Each structure stands twice: as C-alpha cells, then as structure tokens.
C-alpha cells in the first residue's frame, strides 16, 4: 500500500476518532425530552403552544442578523479574551454564613450568604459550556475551588437550562457532595430526573412561587430570556431569584434582558442588600435577552425602588466564557462608568473572591491590566 494512502487512512481515522469523542455523551448532556418536560410545564400559565413565553415579545436573535453573526464568528480572532492570565482569589468561607455576602466563582456561579444560610446558584464547574466535552466555549480561568471543598449549602438554585448555567457534570457531583435540594424553574426538574437526582431533592417553581428552608424564602421571579439545550427551545422556564432571610435580601439575576417588569419585582420583593446582575455577552443582535451594562445599572435602580444608591451591585455573567463579540473587559469598564454616574456602589471580585455587603473594604480594579 502506498505511503500516501496510509497517511490518508490515518488522517481519516484520527478525524473519525475526534468526531466520536466530540459526540460522546451528547444525548445525556442534552437532558430530558420535550415529552418528559411537558407534564410539569403544562400547568404554567406562561406555557402556551408547547413552549414558555416572555411577558414582552422577545426574540433570541434580531431577524436578518444571522449571516452577519457567522462572519463575526470567523473574524473575531482573540476578541473577548484577556491579555494576561485571569487572577484567582482564594475562596474563604466563614464558619457561619454572613448576613448578606457573595462569593463569585466565575460567570454566574455564586455562593450567596443570607442571614446565616448559604445558597449555591448556577454552579458550572465543567471545562466547556456545551453538550460536547471537546467542542464549545472553554474556560478562560480555572475554577477557584473544587466542588468537594465547598461548604455545606442549604439550597442549590438554577436560573435556566442553558449549558453555562445548568451543567450535568456539576449536578452529578453535587448530588453526592451536598445534601441540599435543587430549587429550579418549572420543567428543569425533568433534566434532573433524567440525571438520576432523587425526586425528594427537586423543588420546581414558577414565577412568583416560593419555597422555604427554615427562615430562608426562595422566590422564583421573572426574567426576560429563553431556554433550550438542543434544537428545541423554550420547553423549560427561565427565571431570576429572590433570596430573602428574616433581615436581608439578595437578588440573583441569572441571565436576562432588560425589562421594565424589574420595577414590579422591586416593589414586590425589594429593596435588596445585594443585586447580582448579568453584565456580559450582550450584543445589538440579541438585545431582548441579554442586558448590557447600562441596562444592568437601570435594573439595579429598578429593583431598589428607584434608589440607585441602595445596596451593593456585584456583576456576574462575564469573564469566564467567551460568548459574544465585545472585548473581555468592556462589560466592567462600561459598568463602572455608568454606575459611578448613577451613584451605585459596585464591587467586582476576582473569581473566588467574597464580597460582604456591609464591609468597608476598598474597591479593587484588578481587571484593568488584563484589558
């Protein structure tokens, strides 16, 4: 056999092997089928025509911009990546959870402390946010701590089922390393059942529904977004969350576009000692479902009854995965400028860093050298 033929066969074999590795486990990663979700989703007033809907008409992508986005993907190069390695803080969990504090692990993964309780929200510890272990957006920094080294938590909360917020591998580890219930929007329980999470550890809520754990009240609240882990979208609900103790309140935005309905959430559940709001992965091509930094500043004010100076704003949904076409630091540059003009207190932790709403620690600008 000719050498060139052997080389060609080897190339084909290597390519076939790579494709097999990329495709391995995808059906399980995708989660439950629509038919498995529907019995739980059908009872929601926001579920019509076999899918969930935002209160306002919304599109995941502005019509006619898909061709331009393909070009942007091909030409963006290193845009969205930092110029130097992202520094990590050493996570320090106090023996007793604080009154209102948050440890940010990157992207939207946070450990929230409220009046002595701990809530782990949108935990994603995998290397990629994708159904494939070989293809898809990869981490730009390491996880600051292993899942097994987290303190015991009282609840594990999910905002929606996108891969950068709901991670199968993380869920499976937490199923064994923690004893807390998974508190999720309607329909996501079907994914957890598909991954063998016990029924007695699944609590599903629709917007404006609550569950209590001791004196802690977890309320599922409105967001403007979408859902989907495969080709079919919006079969499960998406949400923001209110974590309310006897004395303090924290708002977790998860992922959302701006909506004036945040004003109503502020009147009903606010004001808040901490607001954790998404500031990254925005683009003019999907303005309905991802807020930009200036809109996040407005959201903070809306949630705090128009008093922008109340509470501490901690940005999430940035820095860890390259999911859009803006530069790596642009969300924080724009956020800090807009927040300063509005009189908002912003705290930007390094991945692994802890922010206490009542601490007088000096603000850090650690991101500036990374551009």
Can you spell out the DSSP letters for 99-141? SEEEEEEETTEEEEEETTEEEEES---SSBSSSSSSSS-B-SS
* Mean of pLDDT over the chain: 92
- The mean pLDDT value for 138-147 works out to 98
Higher pLDDT, 70 or 267: 267
Token pair belonging to 174? 């937490």
Asked whether residue 248 is assigned to any structural domain, the reply reads yes
- pLDDT of 12 strictly over 50: no
Domain of residue 195, residue span:
100-361
Higher pLDDT, 9 or 176: 176
Q: Give the pLDDT confidence score for residue 151 in this predicted structure.
A: 98
- The mean pLDDT value for 251-277 works out to 98
Percent of the chain topping pLDDT 90: 84
Predicted confidence band of residue 188 (pLDDT cuts 50, 70, 90):
very high
Asked whether residue 93 is assigned to any structural domain, the reply reads no
Asked whether residue 164 is assigned to any structural domain, the reply reads yes
Asked whether residue 61 is assigned to any structural domain, the reply reads no
Rounded CA separation 210/311 (Å): 23
Structural domains counted in the chain: 1
Which CATH number do you get for residue 340? Answer: 3.60.15.10
Asked whether residue 202 is assigned to any structural domain, the reply reads yes
Rounded CA separation 67/87 (Å): 36
Predicted confidence band of residue 14 (pLDDT cuts 50, 70, 90):
very low
Rounded CA separation 291/258 (Å): 5
Predicted confidence band of residue 94 (pLDDT cuts 50, 70, 90):
very high
Asked whether residue 337 is assigned to any structural domain, the reply reads yes
Asked whether residue 257 is assigned to any structural domain, the reply reads yes
Q: Give the pLDDT confidence score for residue 3 in this predicted structure.
A: 52
Rounded CA separation 186/33 (Å): 14
CA-based angle 308:102:94, to the nearest 5?
140
* Phi/psi of residue 87, nearest 5 degrees: -75, 155
Whether the bond between 271 and the residue before it is cis, its omega within 30 degrees of 0, is yes
Q: Let me know: does 166 contact 119? Beta carbons within 8 Å.
A: no
Asked whether residue 274 is assigned to any structural domain, the reply reads yes
- The mean pLDDT value for 59-80 works out to 78
Q: Give the pLDDT confidence score for residue 286 in this predicted structure.
A: 96
Higher pLDDT, 20 or 295: 295
């Amino acid at each position: 056999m000719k050498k060139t033929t052997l080389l060609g066969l080897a190339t084909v074999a290597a390519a076939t092997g790579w494709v097999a590795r990329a495709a391995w486990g995808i059906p399980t990663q995708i989660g439950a089928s629509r038919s498995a979700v529907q019995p739980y989703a059908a009872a929601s007033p926001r579920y019509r025509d076999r899918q969930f809907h935002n209160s306002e008409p919304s599109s995941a992508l502005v019509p006619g911009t898909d061709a331009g986005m393909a070009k942007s993907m091909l030409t963006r190069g290193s845009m969205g990546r930092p110029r130097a390695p992202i520094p990590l803080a050493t996570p320090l969990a106090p023996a007793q959870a604080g009154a209102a504090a948050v440890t940010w692990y990157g992207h939207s993964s946070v450990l929230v402390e409220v009046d002595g309780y701990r809530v782990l929200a949108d935990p994603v510890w995998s290397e990629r946010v994708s159904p494939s272990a070989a293809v898809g957006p990869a981490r730009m920094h390491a996880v600051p701590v292993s899942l097994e080294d987290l303190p015991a938590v009282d609840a594990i909360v999910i905002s929606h089922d996108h891969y950068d917020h709901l991670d199968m591998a993380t869920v499976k580890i937490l199923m064994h390393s923690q004893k807390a219930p998974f508190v999720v929007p309607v329909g996501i329980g079907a994914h957890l059942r598909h991954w063998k999470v016990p029924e007695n550890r699944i609590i599903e809520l629709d917007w404006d529904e609550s569950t209590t754990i001791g004196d802690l009240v977890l309320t599922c609240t409105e967001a403007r977004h979408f859902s989907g882990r495969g080709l079919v979208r919006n079969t499960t609900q998406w949400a923001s969350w209110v974590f309310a103790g006897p004395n303090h309140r924290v708002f977790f935005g998860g992922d959302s576009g701006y909506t004036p309905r945040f004003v109503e959430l502020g009147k009903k559940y606010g004001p808040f000692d901490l607001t954790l709001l998404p500031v990254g992965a925005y683009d003019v091509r999907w303005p309905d479902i991802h807020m930009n930094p200036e809109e996040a500043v407005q959201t903070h004010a809306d949630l705090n009854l128009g008093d922008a100076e109340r509470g501490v704003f901690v940005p999430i949904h940035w820095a860890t995965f390259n999911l859009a076409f803006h530069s790596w630091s642009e969300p924080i540059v724009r956020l800090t400028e807009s927040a300063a003009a509005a009189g908002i207190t912003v705290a930007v932790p390094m991945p692994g860093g802890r922010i206490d709403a009542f601490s007088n620690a000096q603000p850090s600008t650690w991101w500036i050298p990374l551009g």
